[in-house]
Amino acid sequence: MATINWNPAELLKLSGSYWETCALHAGVKLDLFTPLAARPQTAAELAEELGLAERGLAMLLDALAAMQLLDKQGENYAVTGFAADFLDRNAPDYLGHIILHHHHLVESWSRLDEAVREGGPVRNRVSHEPTAAERESFLLGMFNLAMLIAPKVAAQVDLAGRRRLLDLGGGPGTYAIHFCQQNPQLQATIYDLPTTQPFAAVTLQRFAMTDRIDFAAGDFLAGSLPGGFDVAWLSHVLHGEGPGDCSKLLTNAFAALEPGGQLLVQEFILDETRAAPLFPALFSLNMLLGTPQGQAYSEPELTALLQQAGLSQVERLAIELPNGAGIMAGRKGF
């Protein structure tokens, strides 16, 4: 783990770093980047188009220009090339949904001391009990993130010979889509809450995968799962549950597999000390804020959970992923 050379200046920079975060969130929430991607405008012109106060908008535009997300020439503002690619709502690689999801988490993070004091959540579960806006930003935000990672994962996970994949808690189905694109013989089922189905339907239609991927609605902790699969994929599902429900979920997934089937789990994985890497340690706090028992798990803990569910040949795949993520694999015996 890299050593951090703390000093007062760095400490105060960290303490105030939310200023930039909030400026970005406001720019995305107000959708400033989309009209500026179409044409440069002055603050007055953009304020009139969006129905905003010119004074406040000009201040925000200047801050976004200082952050190098906008270019300012004279009185005109335009998007940078990076912002055009990732912050214009019409761009294929738009990341605004995950940024809005982060925005919806800010209020609960400001109450972290309360969650630590009580040992429990201070917000509703965004995957189960959100408002319509929170549900959209969460599900499409998960799509944003998966689109950055799924092509690499699908290219490096060997599914040769596998025929039926269960994407458990698969949301819009991003991973199922990329696994099927990478493996022409593969068909898949997304299993998630009924409220997720409309988002999955749009994504499957967008990628022309409606003939190879279907959707089964249900709660993966309540009752049995559909069966007959030779591979199951759980991406960032376990961290939302405590150890007991993780064990129950993995046992259900094990039952859904045919003999010889493979179970793959992607998570933000802590090391044995649980004090590194940084992102999984912070992500564990995010689960404290929003779930009754969720947390990030260490590699030894995940290994034990998979083995307790009946899986053998448990290992961590040699795939480098960002933010301390990793993929654990296990097999169901014949």
Kindly list the catalytic residues. 239
Q: SS3 for 159?
A: coil
| CA separation, residue 273 to residues 276, 282, 305 (Å) | 7, 14, 17
- Burial of 50: CB neighbours in 10 Å, binned 0-12, 13-18, 19+: middle
Asked if 274 and 281 touch (Cβ cutoff 8 Å), the reply is yes
DSSP letter, residue 3: P
Instruction: Measure the CA–CA gap between 29 and 228, rounded to whole angstroms.
Output: 43
Contacts of 148 (CB under 8 A, 6+ apart): none
In this structure, the chain runs to a length of 334
Nearest of 283, 329, 288, 293 to residue 309 by alpha carbon: 329
Determine the Cα–Cα distance for residues 147 and 143; give it in Å rounded to an integer. Answer: 6
Beta-strand runs (E) in the chain: 41-42, 70-73, 76-79, 164-168, 187-192, 213-217, 229-235, 257-270, 297-298, 312-316, 325-331
Pick from 103, 123, 127: nearest CA to 114: 123
Question: For tokens 């795939």, what's the residue?
Answer: 319
What are the tokens at 309? 């569910």
